A and B are shown apart, each in its own frame.
Chain A
Amino acid sequence: MNLSDILQQPLGRMSPESLPFWQMLHDPTEGNVINGVIATGAASMVVIGAIIAVALITKYRKWGVLWSEWLTSPDHKKIGIMYVVLAFVMLTRALIEAALMRSQQAFGLGGGFLSPEHFAQLFSTHGTIMIFFVAMPFLTGVINYAMPLQIGARDVSFPVLNSISLGLTAAGAALVMISLCIGKFSTGGWFGYPPYTEASFSPGVGPDYWIWALTLASLASTLSGINFAVTIYKERAPGMKLMYMPLFTWTALCTSIIMIFAMPPLTVATAQLALDRYLGFHYFTNEFGGNMMHFVNLFWLFGHPEVYILVLPSFGVYSQVISTFSGKALFGYRSMVMATTAIAILSFGVWLHHFFTMGQNANINAVFGIASMLIGIPTGVKVYDWMWTMFRGRVRFTVPLIYSIGFIYLFVLGGITGILLANPTIDYQVHNTVFLVAHFHNVAIPGALFGLLAGYHFWFPKAFGFRLNERLGMVSAICWIFGFMLAFFPLYALGLMGLPRRSVAYNEPSYVPLEIAAFLGAILLTVALVTLVVQLWVSIKHRDENRVFVGDPWDGRSLEWSVSAPPPEYNFAVIPVVTGRDAFTIAKEAGNAYQLPDTYADIEVPKNSAMGPVLGAIGLALAFGLVWHIWWMVILFFAAAVVTMIVHGFARDTNRIVPAQQVRQEHRRWFDAVAAAKAISREDERKSANQGLAEQALPGVPA
């Protein structure tokens, strides 16, 4: 890289050949045309989607609102919502890819219609997106929204940093979307093992897209983890001891701690792979003393704790949901907390089970196999606690509870196949088959996704002030649950029958019926997502019938239900004082849940900051320049990043005051609504009579 190179190649290695339809036009064989049409169609969906979004925002003159109310907002609630929106957009893409892969395999006897390269890109982007740009933003969004409210805080500890995390995550997601339009994504799977992803085997831009998208995402997650952990340690309302925290907050804390410790190995692994590819280092190459096992260890030292990052927040949601909709305190709170922390700690001691077959001796495998099985114990404790919570409760089968029940059944099954795989001798038989694919989808979809969807239905009324349509929610939940079963149970059998994972095609006719069943499952899952979208549409249309401004539609137990829906930007007009677990239920039972304070104080909130969107945009441009070797762009935006951070350091006067008078007004308005609202019984909570005020059972009368 010197000046003349930069001048001669201002666009780096970009050329017309980087466009998705180039090959199809120049070599129009049947296979090339099919793959070209699919790739071009996908790219046009991204482009057209972006154009429509820009056009709509312009038409309704919403740029100002978007910028000042959302993108630059340091409010944890808005940041949380934006995270979830990002997750849904990316979920749509990754689910379409999944359906495409299933259809390829359904017709894969002797060929199918996709080229092996195209198929490899599909499973690589599908995995990368689902982990880093669906599950991670979704859970980060839900934690962002609910956790500060649950602990009685006004915001997270570092609101601007929170916005920066969002900006970087969105930049990573945007990079993956761009890879659909220009160039090709990696074909090396979501974990991108070298030496295959080294420059000698994969000289193209694919692995570079993967590296920089993950780097942006992992930096963002590290910062989020720090932010959440500090918030939970430092911002709890007075009286809220650690053992008074709602269980979702506990899982958020454990997830954050895992993020803090587990993201750095990923950063190191991707950075070292980048050094190999860009500067000819030899960390993971085949020659000059490189050792790909370093990558494998680093990656799974991140990768295994990562699966607990994904699953723990959902465990928290299930705990809240099951307790709330059973009308009972969570059974075995203390054991639940211990199980959560035990899982967080054990998660760091099992990474080797991802590569039992890669050459270490049997004793090491045995140690890691046993450690992996140990995780079944705290998880089992949790399952029993959830069941005992429902036992003798007045259970209401709302949408979140349906997800929770589906989860309990399916997750136990996924856990059992996990115990099977944790046994190295069995792992040797089924590793690298679709049995494994079935297993990790069996824990990831019911374990992580169902929980986040349950959380979405549970907290949606809190976030937007109206309930989601119950019937469509039920249809969607049933489609998710049965679609999952249909899509993945056949893979267990196929795996035992020997179908390797990532097969683009096969020659064994007996696979076909099971493959077709799995394909139908994928269609059902697509229907589930479409139903979710329709549900959102219908719910927005009928929002006036389903308003719950008072804020407590489900007879909730923790503090987030004690404020209006949506809550004011400062969350609590007066910071509550906590005297026990399920703080809001305690207050309701004591009859002092809704009280006017004597005085109101000024509240200091952070001013809006452009740091999040600006650093996100710079990060995206920098990463794009690195992918395509556009060195002027790299230099320019690296400098821009440094300057931006320095300038931010010089910023002063970053807070503003919400005057006591305004707080008083808003609080009184809500209080009047509370007084005017008619309390409803739990049986009626899904009717439009629900204004968000729960009827209290008389003391001594069983609920």
Chain B
Amino acid sequence: MNYEAIKHPGLNLGSAHGRDHDAAEGMVFGFWVFLMSDAILFSMVFATYVTSVGATAGGPGPHELYDIKSVFIETLLLLASSFTFGMASLALKYKHGTARLIGWLAVTLVLGVAFLGFELHDFASMFSKGAVPSRSGFLSAFFDLVPLHGLHVTGGSIWLICLVGQIAMYGVDTQVKLGLMRLALFWHFLDIVWIAIFSVVYLAGLT
């Protein structure tokens, strides 16, 4: 790949994709900009959390509530899903065929849904200990930050299903390619946010 072929940051489709490669320029760049805005959104919620850690109002705190084992499994699931999405992106770029592309996407979806399952289970067990958001400022902030990430993953999963539906209807056309490239960025972005959550919320909370 020569230097001129790079249209935007991140994995490019490459000139083998002809016009689709050009079409990606504004679209993917625009999505990067959106992610910056989304990153600010998360950073504000992180700031709320960090400044509310002590505000337990006599209720349960991190040590009583966080289950590091479950969170570690979630982390592995999400990291693995990022890897499988990477494989899907490569399958798209090097035209490994629709079957392989859908295969990797399906694995990604399963991992993402499994992540959400574990996360919901965590929330349920916190609820059963009386740790509901209305209990304290700390829990309000926790249930702002972590489920916000979960909602993003849910949205990403729905998007992924829709893109597979579009592949079924139209094949891997320009819009599917652009959609996959943006969803890939979104998915990896959520991975990075999760690493921040894992460090700031769980690891720091349990030390």
A212 at the B interface (CB under 8 A): no
Task: Name the residue on B nearest A654 (C-beta).
Answer: B175
CB contacts under 8 Å to B, within A267-326, are 267-268, 272, 275-276, 279-283, 287-291, 294, 298, 301
Q: Is the interface of A mostly helix, strand, loop or mixed?
A: helix
Mask: chain B, 154-180; 1 = CB below 8 Å from A; 0 = not:
000011001101100110010100010
The CA-CA distance from A222 to B30 in the complex, in Å, is: 12
Task: Name the residue on A nearest B143 (C-beta).
Answer: A281
A291 near B52 with CB under 8 A, answer: yes
B173 near A230 with CB under 8 A, answer: no
The CA-CA distance from A275 to B132 in the complex, in Å, is: 13
Total of A-B residue pairs, C-beta within 8 Å: 115
Residues of A within 8 A of B57 (CB): 282, 287-289
The CA-CA distance from A688 to B139 in the complex, in Å, is: 69
Segment at the A interface, from B31-39, B71-79, B100-108 = B31-39
The CA-CA distance from A646 to B37 in the complex, in Å, is: 22
Task: Name the residue on B nearest A226 (C-beta).
Answer: B33
B5 at the A interface (CB under 8 A): no
B37 near A264 with CB under 8 A, answer: yes
A260 at the B interface (CB under 8 A): yes
B137 near A650 with CB under 8 A, answer: no
Which of B33, B141, B170, B175 is in CB contact (< 8 Å) with A260?
B33
A289 near B56 with CB under 8 A, answer: yes
A281, A283, A650: most-surrounded residue (chain B CB, <10 A) = A281
B15 at the A interface (CB under 8 A): no
B26 at the A interface (CB under 8 A): yes
B36 near A261 with CB under 8 A, answer: yes
Interface size class of B (residues with CB under 8 A): 35 or more
Count of A interface residues, CB-CB < 8 Å: 39
Residues of A within 8 A of B36 (CB): 260-261
B175 near A282 with CB under 8 A, answer: no
B41 near A267 with CB under 8 A, answer: yes
CB contacts under 8 Å to A, within B102-131, are none
The CA-CA distance from A288 to B48 in the complex, in Å, is: 15
Residues of B within 8 A of A272 (CB): 48, 140, 144
CB contacts under 8 Å to B, within A28-70, are none
A230 near B133 with CB under 8 A, answer: no
B179 near A649 with CB under 8 A, answer: yes
CB contacts under 8 Å to B, within A248-270, are 260-261, 263-265, 267-268
A265 near B140 with CB under 8 A, answer: no
Residues of B within 8 A of A294 (CB): 48, 51-52
Can you list 29 contacts pairing A with B, beta carbon distance less than 8 Å?
A158-B30, A226-B30, A226-B37, A230-B26, A230-B33, A234-B29, A261-B40, A264-B37, A264-B38, A264-B40, A265-B44, A267-B41, A268-B48, A276-B140, A281-B144, A282-B136, A283-B137, A288-B55, A289-B54, A289-B56, A290-B137, A290-B140, A291-B137, A301-B44, A642-B158, A649-B162, A649-B163, A649-B175, A650-B162
Q: Which residues of A contact B (CB under 8 A)?
A: 157-158, 222, 225-227, 229-230, 233-235, 260-261, 263-265, 267-268, 272, 275-276, 279-283, 287-291, 294, 298, 301, 642, 646, 649-650, 652
Q: Which residues of B contact A (CB under 8 A)?
A: 25-26, 29-30, 33-34, 36-38, 40-41, 44-45, 48, 51-52, 54-57, 59, 133-138, 140-141, 143-144, 158-159, 162-163, 165-166, 169-170, 173, 175, 179
Q: A289-B56, A650-B169 are in contact. List 8 more A-B contacts (CB 8 A).
A: A157-B30, A230-B29, A233-B29, A260-B36, A260-B40, A264-B40, A288-B134, A652-B170
